[in-house]
Amino acid sequence: MDAGLTVYAKGRFSRYDEAKIGLMTHALHYGTGCFEGVRGFWSARDEELYLFQLEEHYERLHASAKILMMKVPHTVAELVEITTELCARNNFRGDVYVRPLMYKSNEEIGVRLHDVHDELAIMAMPFDRYFDATAGLNCTVSGWRRIDDTTAPARAKVTGVYINSALAKSEAVLDGYDEAILLSADGHVSEGSAENIFIVKKGVIYTPDASQNILEGCTRKTLMTLAVEQFGIPVVERAIDRSELFTAEEVFISGSAAGLQFVRAIDHRVVGDGTQGPVATKLAAFYDRVVRGMEPAYHRWLTRTYASRKTATV
């Protein structure tokens, strides 16, 4: 992280290197935090930084916080306002990643959720790409299972739960793959280490439903909406078996950081002909237009960083 970036911490804007937390911070030891990952897309044409689905991400932060018995100190609207100010103060003129974090901040021993103070921090930083994979991703089905909701809340974006993703990701990458696909405890396809997953068969998109211990991704919802509204492609949410991954015509994954990435191969089986299929190609191209403000029908998903500041200060 660039030490000079402006962040929002403990209720005010400060430099990244001045916003410190103590070594005994509860969340650092017990994973008692929850967070979001939001993308901002720069439009040179509009001289604008579009924050994508900021409200949807902050609604999910509120939901995660509730599960962790936390109280977010701001409404969704206030968080949107703080975030646009943060990005404007950093004067970003390129793509960004925004990382809001709620964390339990007491500096003491004792694992629990109740009677611990919560803090909010929001960091924003320049961001290019998560995967460098124009040729598609080489994936493996992980030996690690996706955390089950009976163990820890899969639908909350909880810091501690990310050890599950980290184990799977490192196993996959150190074995020579780009990404891991995790099965749920009962053996159905759940998701990638930080992405939701889709398969295409005979013109229909299938994706694991919300009861498959997935994080209900904002990008997942977006792609499902675009598939139906823009291209008339049916989307079915249902349990998916491992071997269906091998026989699908297309497989792709989605996430705020990753965008839409097609999968080239899974455990040495080439998906389709190994290139980006027609459904992924259409959706990826349209998604790219939506996030950069080129599709007026979907402007409702965008928050303008600079225009909204002007309106706020006039």
Judged by CB under 6 A, the stretch of 14-22, 98-106, 128-136, 217-225 that binds ligand PMP is 217-225
CB of 115 to ligand PMP, least distance (A): 29
Judged by CB under 6 A, the stretch of 215-223, 243-251, 280-288, 304-312 that binds ligand PMP is 215-223
Q: What is the C-alpha to C-alpha distance for residues 265 and 252, in angstroms, rounded to an integer?
A: 11
Using the minimum distance from each CB to ligand PMP, give the nearer residue, 90 or 219.
Answer: 219
Q: Please work out the total of residues on this chain that contact ligand PMP, with binding judged by CB under 6 A.
A: 14
Judged by CB under 6 A, the stretch of 63-71, 82-90, 194-202, 238-246 that binds ligand PMP is 194-202
CA angle, residues 86, 132, 305, in degrees to nearest 5: 20
Q: What is the DSSP string of 9-24?
A: ETTEEEEGGG----TT
Q: Which residues contact 146 (CB under 8 A, 6 or more apart)?
A: 154, 164, 182, 183, 184, 185, 190, 191, 212, 213, 214
Q: What is the C-alpha to C-alpha distance for residues 28 and 123, in angstroms, rounded to an integer?
A: 17
Handedness of CA 260, 236, 60, 151 (dihedral sign): negative
CB of 37 to ligand PMP, least distance (A): 5
* Binding status of residue 153 toward ligand PMP by CB under 6 A: no
Using the minimum distance from each CB to ligand PMP, give the nearer residue, 101 or 194.
Answer: 194
Q: Which residues contact 296 (CB under 8 A, 6 or more apart)?
A: none
CB of 49 to ligand PMP, least distance (A): 18
CB of 70 to ligand PMP, least distance (A): 18
* Binding status of residue 100 toward ligand PMP by CB under 6 A: no
Using the minimum distance from each CB to ligand PMP, give the nearer residue, 260 or 271.
Answer: 260
Q: Which residues contact 6 (CB under 8 A, 6 or more apart)?
A: 13, 14, 15, 16, 86, 89, 90, 124
Say which of 10, 66, 157, 169 is annotated catalytic: 157
> Could you tell me which of 194, 200, 239, 199 has the C-alpha nearest to residue 217?
194
Tokens read off for 248:
């699908």
Instruction: Out of 169, 220, 264, 292, point to the residue binding ligand PMP (CB under 6 A).
Output: 220
Q: What is the C-alpha to C-alpha distance for residues 58 and 117, in angstroms, rounded to an integer?
A: 20
Instruction: Out of 5, 101, 123, 194, point to the residue binding ligand PMP (CB under 6 A).
Output: 194
* Binding status of residue 256 toward ligand PMP by CB under 6 A: yes
Tell me, yes or no, if 169 is annotated catalytic. Answer: no
Where would I find the H helices in 91-212? Answer: 162-174
* Binding status of residue 219 toward ligand PMP by CB under 6 A: yes
* Binding status of residue 218 toward ligand PMP by CB under 6 A: yes
The single-letter DSSP state of residue 293 is T
Distances (CA, A) of 87 to 25, 60, 159, 252: 27, 20, 23, 31
* Binding status of residue 165 toward ligand PMP by CB under 6 A: yes
* Binding status of residue 255 toward ligand PMP by CB under 6 A: yes
Instruction: Out of 31, 40, 217, 277, point to the residue binding ligand PMP (CB under 6 A).
Output: 217
CB of 109 to ligand PMP, least distance (A): 29
Instruction: Out of 180, 215, 260, 271, point to the residue binding ligand PMP (CB under 6 A).
Output: 215
3-state SS class at 255: strand
Instruction: Out of 37, 153, 272, 293, point to the residue binding ligand PMP (CB under 6 A).
Output: 37
Contact 211, 233 (CB under 8 A): no
CB of 17 to ligand PMP, least distance (A): 27
Residues near ligand PMP (CB under 6 A) are 37, 165, 191, 194-196, 215, 217-220, 254-256
> Which active-site residues does the annotation give?
157
